[in-house]
Amino acid sequence: MITQSIYLINAFTSRIFHGNPAAVMPLPAESDWPSDALLQQIAAENAVPETAFFRFQNVDQYELRWFTPDIEMDLCGHATLATAHVLTRHLNSAPAAGQSIRFSTKSGELRVTVTGDIYELDLPARPPVPAELPAEVLAAFPPPLTVGRARDYVLEYATEAEIHALRPNRAILDRINVDPGGIICTAPGAPGSGVDFVSRFFTPQSTIFEDPVTGSAHCTLVPFWAEKLGRTTLEARQVSARGGELGCTLVRLPGSGASPDRVHLRGQAVTYLQGEIPSLTQ
């Protein structure tokens, strides 16, 4: 039987059973992409928040796609970090000094630089704008201080304790679908916690209701908190049951005016499992 490798990586953590799990599957460069239906079946079978599929495209660049158990996503931070970890630690494809791993994706070109055991993702910034919440979200969560939206809704609360205490009413939330986005709940980090802000992330009508650590949500959280705190370098923690840590920087590109352009996220990763499955190209 012809087989191909699959890896299960915990991203935005250095500890097994923490951070956000992602399945990563390298595909042969010379083959066509498997059908979307097959990729979706594999992601559902893996039953982790994201499955990343990638293949070599040209010199130092890879094509990368992400699937939840339910849909293909336009952007996923933790599975991008996990893919860079697989390339670096398992496939001997670490970039040369001063170079980045480049990925061609639905969100444009993404880059990951590797320094020791730290991966830094270069992602698009998605600052939120004021928004009104659907009635179902209002009914499922305590009243927030402010509401914004980019891809995801952003609900701001006053304290970290409120974020830990959230018990959203899923029966109500599942009456709506904000595909492909979700609902970010965030607050300042508690005094002495060592982080500037905390968050949790929920997705109505999805197989995995609460995402453990959501890199793409920080494309919105970083510009949001940078403006509020008056700083572009921040430390973040997603306070899900698994938990994860992210170093964050808001990068304003020359000529962009007051509008933030990129978000850099830094984190670690650890391999939980390496295995093989029947080849998708048989």
Tokens of 159: 């304290």
Q: What is the 3-state secondary structure (H, E, C) of 36-88?
A: HHHHHHHHHHHCCCEEEEEEEEECCEEEEEEECCCCEECCCHHHHHHHHHHHH
Return the structure tokens found at 172.
């109500």
Q: Omega before 278 cis (within 30°)? A: no
User: How far apart are the C-alpha atoms of 18 and 11, rounded to whole Å?
Assistant: 8
Give backbone dihedrals phi and psi of 135, rounded to 5 degrees, phi first.
Answer: -55, -35
- Residue 163: name the closest of 178, 138, 142, 134 by CA: 142
Options 30, 50, 109, 132, the catalytic residue: 50
Those residues whose C-beta lies under 8 Å from the C-beta of residue 124, and which sit 6 or more positions away, are 75, 107, 108, 219, 261, 262, 263
Pairing relation of β-strands 197-202 and 233-238?
parallel
The answer, yes or no, to whether the previous bond of 180 is cis (omega within 30 of 0) is yes
Collapsed DSSP state (helix, strand, coil) of residue 238: strand
Q: What letter represents residue 255's amino acid?
A: G
Tokens, residue 150: 């980019």
Lookup: tokens for 37 = 């239906």
- Give catalytic status of residue 30 as yes or no: no
Q: How far apart are CA 260 and CA 254, in angstroms?
A: 10
CA–CA gap between residue 178 and residue 133 (Å, rounded): 11
Q: Active-site residue numbers?
A: 50
